[in-house]
Amino acid sequence: MKIIAINGSPRRTWNTATLLQHALDGAATQGAETELIHLYDLDFKGCTSCFACKIRGGKSYGKCILNDGLTEILEKIESVDVLILGSPLYFGTVTGEMRCFMERLMFPYLVYAKPPQSLFTRKIPTAFVYTMNVAENMIHEAGYDVHFKTNESVLERLFGSCESVFSYETLQFEDYSKVVFSYCDPAERIERRKTVFPKDCEQAFNLGERLIRKV
């Protein structure tokens, strides 16, 4: 069994990456082969709307024709057993790199039909791990839940199933004294990192363990 986690954060060792690694560690306890991929290490761009993946009988039907740093990753995902995406929220949505990745991953599999169909040949469990600055009670007010539901819906339609894990009010800076920040009390964030974030990591670990058991 193989599980791949995609880190859409520019930070390789911070909140999102840490949670994804815990998810992989959980999967590893069930005998899975794991891999963590950092999108910001790759040279790629989003969908160019060339529609080569949609040409009937075309050599790239169902596959992205672009050849760049993402090509090998997309090929790996074709045979993966579990896929987890992870991203911090920037202005209420995933990072630009994650969005570009999602376009390249999902669009080739999407068949324009009623209802929409998928060219992905198997059903696999997927998940999305989100980290964010806002508090849980602000999610609906800020409209974030619509974004979460949309991502879940598309992943379910194309791959079979999807669940989401959330980490709220995460620590953004190692030293808050160096930055302009009056959004909340930095001491509260530091304390939350010590007391709440470990529980988020445990939740991510259980996620990886659970997803592999579904295979």
pLDDT at position 215: 80
Sign, CA dihedral 134-154-70-47, equals negative
- pLDDT tens digits, one per residue of 35-60: 999 999 999 999 999 999 999 988 99
- pLDDT tens digits, one per residue of 91-111: 889 999 999 999 999 999 999
Please, how many CA atoms are within 13 Å of residue 85, restricted to the half-sphere of its CB? 27
At a CB cut-off of 8 Å and minimum separation 6, what does 56 contact?
none
Q: Residue 128 and residue 3: Cα distance in Å, rounded?
A: 13
pLDDT at position 187: 87
Confidence of residue 7 (pLDDT cuts 50, 70, 90): very high
Chain centroid, CA 121 distance in Å: 21
Domain 2-214 has CATH 3.40.50.360: yes
Q: Residue 22 and residue 25: Cα distance in Å, rounded?
A: 5
- pLDDT score of 185 more than 80: yes
pLDDT at position 174: 83
Q: Residue 83 and residue 212: Cα distance in Å, rounded?
A: 10
Tally Cβ neighbours within 10 Å of residue 206.
Answer: 14
Q: Residue 213 and residue 208: Cα distance in Å, rounded?
A: 9
User: Strand 124-131 and strand 82-90: pairing?
Assistant: parallel
